[in-house]
Amino acid sequence: MNSSPSGDMEETPEVLSVNKTVFIGSAIVSILLIFWTIAFPTYSENLLSTAMTWVSDGFGWYYMLVVAAYSIFSLFVGMSRYGDIKLGQDHEKAQFPFLTWAAMLFSAGIGIDLLFFGASEPLMHYLTPHSGLTPESAQAMREALPQTFLHWGLHGWGIYALIGMTLAYFAYRKNMPLALRSALTPIFGERLVKGWLGDSVDTFGVVCTLMGIATSLGIGVLQANAGLTHVFGLPDSKTVQSVIIILVVVAAGLSAMTGVEKGVRRLSEFNMITATMLLIAILLLGNTTHLLNAFTQNVGDYFQTVVAKTFDVYAYEGAAGAEWKSWWTIFFWAWWVAWAPFVGLFIARISRGRTLREFVFGVMFIPLGFIFAWFSIFGNSAIDFVANGATELGEIAINNAPMGMFALFEHYAFSSILSFAGVIIGLVFFITSADSGALVLANLSSRGLTSDADAPVWLRLFWAAATGLITLGLLFAGGFTSLQSVSVIAGLPFSVILVMYMIAMWKSLKEEGNKRKANAVDTANVLNNGKSWKARLQRIVSFPNKKQVQRFLDNVVLSAMQEVESELNTEGLSTQLIERTVQDGGFEGLRLKVGHGTEDDFIYDVCLVRAERPNFTLATSSKQAEYYYRAEVFLNEGSQEYDLVGYTKEQVLVDILNQYERHMQYLHLGR
């Protein structure tokens, strides 16, 4: 089972539709921003550059502290006693196999940027380091990779881990929509979150995501055009770039139609395999021993210096240090935060059924290992060539970053094959960014979306087309730089939302802790009275069919629930008994719900669940005999993994009261 069967017994759900407030609001804001950057390119670029400098100078210290806090909080949750809490109900299994999940993390969170910056950024740190180092010195060579790792390492993935686990927790654990607004419920309450505040947060998320995807596609199209020029001699022109955008958007639309389980999954697996093969090829074709030695030292230097670099704001290096910090570290922190709504929502979407510990360590360390290998092998290879006389490679990396990787390939055997592979990988990365972005935008702009569903196909296609049109418009107007600045500046207010996410997550985890304490309250085992041991043995070795369990629900469980409901009503409590039947009239589930106003309601579900019989009990080879049915108990947090079939009515009554007593103890501990 992947979700509670009792979910269908909720009150009538909201009809799935477009959230007009979010959809229209985000469209207006995005169109105005794009029109502004296109109509007034010089003015907008100057203003945004000034704003970025103001953010860096005034809030650089804040960014350094808050980004560190995100990573520390995420690691704390993963290592804490709450780490075994499921992102979903307790009985759920992971939605995707581990390697598939890792591949989708890799594609969503890194994407085309690996190809764009893989050789170029380490070379830039070697040739133009911060003011405390001499360019092209041995120290600059050694510092280049740890500095690159800082910008692409634990800090950025800590941001993604925080937002991803928070959104997944409230969606799959608390049964809220998978939307940015849901995680703010513990702080602002359900009324505001469902109203203007929630619409504002989701609108802001759509705008940030749309701007981020458009600029990412801008980077991607430059990278793709550079590769096609290098491999096939196609011109580096807006015409070629326009064709690339159109083809990628069409492919992304086709992938989005198939959903995460097929399109995004298969493309991500392809990315992971081909990128790994390219990385191994560069390692084996180059100075392998040197690269392995450098990789080991780079990783060691990173972990030795990561704490110092985390809080290094270049306070004693004057204007040069402030400028370097502004256009490198602070830029990257703001960029990661601005991308957090998109990547966080996508990672949450693919992580149902994993524990918090699996999630945190998977998100923070699986991509980190690949980043270490990729930047170290590509970066050290490029630095080694430049240090030994290939000065043109360094000039290309600084002046034409998209061409940096292809210029590096020219120094290897089979350079044309490597370049062709780079083009294919880049295009597939390009497509996965577009289709996963369209999925997130469609989900954010929907209303009535359940936590385990996606927006309709037509809405995903709309957003895929919209991002393509925006990218085309910016391509011809030259507005990518300005739009990138908008995204980075938007990271400042969203960083405050992430602080609220930490507060909301911590508050909810403490409630989970209280619930565990409450469940430890010692109550008598309803079947352990010693008087009916033969009946107990009989229920242990019996494997009833569906009709037998349905009769048990009708004759025993329903009667017990009705008596409890009646008694609670006389005590003035608001109760609801919901019966779910199938077409043949038999029960498929019963739910007793006791309302507690603004506090958590008590829910006791008994659901018909099909299970496989143990092999040693099979006395016949018929298909029907391979299964039996259980009357399984579900609470708010999911299945309790025990079966009521064989209980007397009195024993069912005692079990309901036991669970209700634990719930009341949980409410007491939360006060």
- For residues 466 and 287, the answer to whether their CB atoms sit within 8 Å is no
Q: For residue 287, what pLDDT band results from cuts at 50, 70 and 90?
A: very high
Task: Give the pair of three-digit tokens for residue 51.
Answer: 């704003």
For the stretch 488-543, pLDDT in tens is 777 888 899 999 999 999 999 988 888 777 766 554 455 555 556 777 777 777 88
Helices (H) and strands (E) in the chain, counts: 25, 7
- For residues 594 and 575, the answer to whether their CB atoms sit within 8 Å is yes
Task: Give the pair of three-digit tokens for residue 159.
Answer: 């941001």
3-state secondary structure of 523: coil
pLDDT for 141 equals 93
Residue 369 has pLDDT above 60, yes or no: yes
**Closest among 78, 100, 224 to 161, alpha carbons compared:** 78
Residue 2 has pLDDT above 60, yes or no: no
Find which of 237-246, 326-335, 384-393, 427-436 is predicted with most confidence, using mean pLDDT: 384-393
Q: What is the mean predicted confidence (pLDDT) over 469-498?
A: 76
Give whole-number Cα distances, 464 to 214, 411, 602, in Å: 11, 38, 42
76: Cα separation from own chain's centroid: 18
Task: Give the pair of three-digit tokens for residue 405.
Answer: 């990787």
3-state secondary structure of 308: helix
Strand partners, 606: 590, 633
Residue keyed to tokens 């936590």:
451
Give whole-number Cα distances, 636 to 38, 69, 434, 512, 608, in Å: 51, 31, 36, 11, 17
pLDDT for 590 equals 92
pLDDT for 8 equals 41
3-state secondary structure of 632: strand
Prediction pTM value = 0.81
pLDDT for 385 equals 94
Residue keyed to tokens 């945190």:
360
Q: Tell which wins on pLDDT, 70 or 227.
A: 70
Give me the amino acid identity at 379: G
Strand partners, 576: 593
Q: Please, what sign has the CA dihedral across residues 441, 159, 119, 211?
A: positive
DSSP string, 220-254: HHHHHHHHHHHHH----SHHHHHHHHHHHHHHHHH
3-state secondary structure of 527: coil
**What whole-number distance in Å separates Cα of residue 568 and Cα of residue 562?**
10
Q: For residue 15, what pLDDT band results from cuts at 50, 70 and 90?
A: low
Q: For residue 85, what pLDDT band results from cuts at 50, 70 and 90?
A: very high
Share of the chain above pLDDT 90, in %: 31
- For residues 225 and 402, the answer to whether their CB atoms sit within 8 Å is yes
Contact residues for 504 (Cβ-Cβ < 8 A; gap 6+): 166, 170, 183, 184, 185, 186, 187
Residue 211 has pLDDT above 60, yes or no: yes
Nearest-5° angle of CA 655, CA 658, CA 663? 130
pLDDT for 14 equals 59
**What whole-number distance in Å separates Cα of residue 337 and Cα of residue 328?**
14
For the stretch 302-352, pLDDT in tens is 999 999 999 988 888 888 888 888 778 888 888 888 888 888 988 998 999
**What whole-number distance in Å separates Cα of residue 90 and Cα of residue 634?**
10
pLDDT for 637 equals 80
Q: For residue 5, what pLDDT band results from cuts at 50, 70 and 90?
A: very low
Work out the mean pLDDT of the chain and round it to a whole number: 84
Alpha helices in 311-414 (DSSP H): 318-327, 329-349, 356-387, 391-399, 404-409
Q: For residue 239, what pLDDT band results from cuts at 50, 70 and 90?
A: confident
**Closest among 520, 601, 660, 671 to 175, alpha carbons compared:** 601
**What whole-number distance in Å separates Cα of residue 6 and Cα of residue 638?**
9
Q: What is the mean predicted confidence (pLDDT) over 201-213?
A: 84
pLDDT for 567 equals 92
Q: What is the CA radius of gyration of the chain?
A: 28
